[in-house]
């Protein structure tokens, strides 16, 4: 399939769409064909500084707008995103690879953060606390932290950005955004929605650059940037924790995941299979909440595996813009190699390849990074896939006998983002949900993300929460004011 998008975007600095200071640009390619889909400026250190200048200049005015005004702009941003859903989704599919239906779903999901945080803007309440001394009065204020930097990944090019910009704008913060260099075009289209919704110049600024290290260094060494919100790999997240020490920057980190998916004997078979498929194969297995390990109780194992195989083999793989595609390409060749290495390692250590296990080439796949949806049977703790995030369409199954054994398997990970299980036993549902060491638990549900819920991880999956009623706290400072000598003593 020929690539159909041809989009050249720019940086957004202080309300102006501009080229990089030195005029350099880089191409964005379609992972489904290898073809060019557009280009963006390769932002320099001077550009990052200019974006921080713009965000700092816009801050005094933006932080003093009324909550109602900020809410209106956020809701309008959501409406405009929805009006442009087709254009944004096609661009997203072209640069990221996910099937068009999934891309449209992501645009709606991304817009929902603007809507949700529009509501939250109006509920940034403080407190009046009963004083310890009758002469005093005690107030608690919640104020915007200031200039925020947002660094986002390529797997959800729109939603990972709005999940940060929504609460930042609602709180009264201004932002500099650095999207992944694989998917900067979607980011530019989302920022155009915010601009067209009436956000004043400098409230959101966009830096595209291939030099993420330089961007991060410039952000971390500028005292005006008070907070960095990062979504990406645990490895880079750890670098950012170290970098934050110098100026004691506030951080929110949404990092890697390695979700367990447990199916108990008493689960409804088909919803459990469909849940695992939705969790595992959505976005070709490239989500932080993807099931990476499936633990299936012995009594249901054979039936589960047979139905899973039938459904996985029926999933059409192809370009994301092709009609009917359910599995698109992986983001690049390195991603294909990593998935294949996990499969080869598992098979070499005794796992059985049930289906898949190979890259796809030939008609419809040439130039792209396609990997056949794969199932491995008999995964053990000796295999890399048991402990490492695959980020590809590979499901590894392990049989278990008891609830304790399943919990032990599931919690045996350095990650703690999402987890899932299926059961019809209500007592077990509550018990297992409480015992899983994960920030998110899907009970009889394979899709768990929503703007109204606090999303975030434990252990090496990061800290901070995005979405829900607590999401805005990440962008607010709490200040306590003691007013002396004002009361009747």
Closest CA to 258 of 92, 72, 420, 30: 420
Task: Give the residue, chosen from 57, 201, 212, 269, that forms a contact with ligand NAP under the rule CB under 6 A.
Answer: 212
Range 286-325, binding ligand NAP (CB under 6 A) = 288
Name the minimum Å distance from CB 108 to ligand NAP: 17
Our CB check for ligand NAP shows the closer of 78 and 182 to be 182
Name the minimum Å distance from CB 125 to ligand NAP: 27
Catalytic residue flag (residue 9): no
Any contact of residue 51 with ligand NAP (CB under 6 A)?
no
What is the DSSP code (8-state) at residue 199? P
Residue least distant from ligand NAP (Cβ): 232
How far is 350 from 347, CA to CA, in rounded Å?
5
Q: Which two tokens stand for residue 188?
A: 């530019």
Our CB check for ligand NAP shows the closer of 155 and 297 to be 155
Catalytic choice (9, 95, 173, 288):
288
Any contact of residue 453 with ligand NAP (CB under 6 A)?
no
Q: Please give the torsion angle defined by the CA atoms of residues 186, 188, 194 and 200, in that order, rounded to the nearest 10 degrees.
A: 170
Our CB check for ligand NAP shows the closer of 28 and 410 to be 28
Is residue 58 within 8 A of residue 208, CB to CB? The reply is no
Q: Please give the torsion angle defined by the CA atoms of residues 376, 259, 331 and 43, in that order, rounded to the nearest 10 degrees.
A: -160
Any contact of residue 29 with ligand NAP (CB under 6 A)?
no
How far is 466 from 454, CA to CA, in rounded Å?
6
Name the minimum Å distance from CB 412 to ligand NAP: 18
Task: Indicate the length of the chain as a whole number.
Answer: 489
Burial of 156 (0-12, 13-18, 19+ CB in 10 A): buried
How far is 173 from 147, CA to CA, in rounded Å?
6
Task: Give the residue, chosen from 89, 216, 277, 376, that forms a contact with ligand NAP under the rule CB under 6 A.
Answer: 216
Task: Give the residue, chosen from 32, 41, 153, 393, that forms a contact with ligand NAP under the rule CB under 6 A.
Answer: 153
Our CB check for ligand NAP shows the closer of 172 and 442 to be 442
Q: Which two tokens stand for residue 341?
A: 């290495």
Pairing type for strands 36-41 and 147-151 reads unpaired
Task: Give the residue, chosen from 152, 325, 390, 460, that forms a contact with ligand NAP under the rule CB under 6 A.
Answer: 152
Our CB check for ligand NAP shows the closer of 94 and 231 to be 231
Phi, psi of 29 (to 5 degrees): -115, 155
Any contact of residue 236 with ligand NAP (CB under 6 A)?
yes
Task: Give the residue, chosen from 389, 403, 473, 474, that forms a contact with ligand NAP under the rule CB under 6 A.
Answer: 389
How far is 180 from 165, CA to CA, in rounded Å?
15
How far is 95 from 368, CA to CA, in rounded Å?
12
Closest CA to 418 of 439, 434, 444: 439
Name the minimum Å distance from CB 308 to ligand NAP: 23
Any contact of residue 470 with ligand NAP (CB under 6 A)?
no
Any contact of residue 369 with ligand NAP (CB under 6 A)?
no
> Binding-site residue total for ligand NAP (CB under 6 A)?
30
Phi, psi of 40 (to 5 degrees): -140, 160
**x/- site string to ligand NAP, residues 157 to 196, per CB under 6 A?**
---x-----------------x-xxx--------------
How far is 355 from 293, CA to CA, in rounded Å?
16
Q: Could you give the angle at the alpha carbon of 437 between the alpha carbons of 435 and 439, nearest 5°?
A: 115
Closest CA to 17 of 43, 49, 37: 43
Name the minimum Å distance from CB 254 to ligand NAP: 3
Catalytic residue flag (residue 102): no
Catalytic choice (102, 106, 195, 254):
254
Any contact of residue 232 with ligand NAP (CB under 6 A)?
yes
Q: Please give the torsion angle defined by the CA atoms of residues 182, 186, 187 and 193, in that order, rounded to the nearest 10 degrees.
A: 170
Our CB check for ligand NAP shows the closer of 257 and 393 to be 257
Which helix or strand (DSSP H or E) is residue 4 part of? Answer: none
Our CB check for ligand NAP shows the closer of 112 and 231 to be 231
Name the minimum Å distance from CB 212 to ligand NAP: 3
Range 406-445, binding ligand NAP (CB under 6 A) = 417
Give the neighbor-by-neighbor strand order of the sheet with 127-129: 127-129, 137-144, 476-483
Which helix or strand (DSSP H or E) is residue 396 part of? Answer: strand 394-400
Name the minimum Å distance from CB 129 to ligand NAP: 34
Name the minimum Å distance from CB 258 to ligand NAP: 8
Our CB check for ligand NAP shows the closer of 339 and 417 to be 417
3-class secondary-structure state, position 422: strand
- Per CB under 6 A, the segment of 87-95, 211-219, 364-372, 399-407 that binds ligand NAP is 211-219
What is the DSSP code (8-state) at residue 471? G
Name the minimum Å distance from CB 64 to ligand NAP: 31
Closest CA to 406 of 433, 426, 384, 388: 433
Q: Which of the residues are catalytic?
A: 254, 288
Binding site for ligand NAP (CB under 6 A): 151-156, 160, 178, 180-182, 210, 212-213, 216, 231-233, 236, 239, 254-257, 288, 389, 417, 457, 461-462
């Amino acid at each position: 399939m020929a690539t159909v998008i041809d989009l050249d975007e720019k940086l957004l600095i202080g309300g102006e769409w501009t080229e990089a200071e030195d005029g350099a640009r880089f191409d964005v390619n379609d992972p489904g064909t290898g073809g060019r889909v557009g280009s963006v400026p390769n932002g320099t250190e001077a550009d990052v500084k200019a974006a921080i200048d713009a965000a700092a200049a816009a801050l005094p005015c933006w932080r003093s707008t009324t909550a109602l005004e900020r809410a209106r702009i956020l809701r309008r941003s959501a409406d405009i995103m929805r009006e442009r859903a087709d254009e944004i989704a096609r661009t997203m599919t072209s640069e990221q690879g996910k099937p068009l239906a999934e891309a449209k779903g992501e645009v709606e999901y991304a817009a929902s953060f603007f809507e949700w945080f529009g509501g939250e803007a109006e509920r940034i309440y403080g407190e009046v606390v009963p004083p310890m001394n009758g002469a005093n009065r005690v107030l608690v204020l919640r104020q915007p932290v200031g200039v925020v930097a947002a660094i986002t990944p390529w797997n959800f090019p729109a939603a990972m950005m709005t999940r940060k910009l929504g609460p930042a704008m609602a709180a009264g913060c201004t932002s500099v955004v650095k999207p992944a260099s694989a998917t900067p075009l979607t980011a530019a289209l989302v920022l155009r929605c915010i601009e067209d919704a009436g956000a004043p110049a400098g409230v959101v600024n966009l830096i595209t650059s291939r030099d993420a290290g330089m961007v991060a260094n410039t952000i971390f060494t500028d005292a005006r940037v008070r907070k960095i919100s990062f979504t990406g790999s645990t490895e880079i997240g750890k670098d950012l924790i170290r970098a934050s020490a110098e100026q004691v920057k506030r951080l929110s980190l949404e990092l890697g995941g390695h979700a367990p998916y447990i199916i108990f004997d008493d689960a409804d078979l088909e919803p459990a299979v469909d849940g695992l498929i939705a969790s595992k194969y959505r976005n070709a297995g490239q989500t932080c909440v993807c099931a990476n390990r499936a633990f299936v109780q012995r009594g249901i194992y054979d039936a589960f595996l047979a139905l899973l195989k039938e459904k996985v083999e029926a999933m059409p793989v192809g370009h994301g813009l092709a009609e009917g595609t359910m599995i698109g390409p992986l983001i690049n060749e390195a991603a294909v190699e990593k998935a294949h290495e996990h499969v080869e390692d598992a098979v070499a250590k005794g796992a059985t390849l049930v289906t898949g296990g190979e890259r796809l080439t030939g008609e419809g796949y040439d130039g792209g990074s396609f990997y056949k949806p794969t199932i491995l049977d008999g995964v053990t703790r000796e295999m890399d896939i048991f402990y490492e995030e695959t980020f590809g369409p590979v499901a590894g199954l392990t049989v278990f006998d008891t609830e304790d054994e399943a919990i032990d398997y599931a919690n045996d990970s350095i990650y703690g983002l999402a987890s899932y299980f299926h059961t019809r036993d209500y007592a077990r549902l509550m018990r297992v949900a409480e015992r899983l060491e994960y920030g998110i638990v899907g009970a009889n549900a394979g899709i768990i993300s929503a703007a109204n819920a606090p999303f975030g991880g434990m252990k090496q999956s990061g800290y901070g929460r995005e979405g829900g009623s607590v999401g805005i706290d990440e962008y607010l400072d709490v200040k306590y004011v003691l007013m002396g000598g004002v009361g009747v003593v």
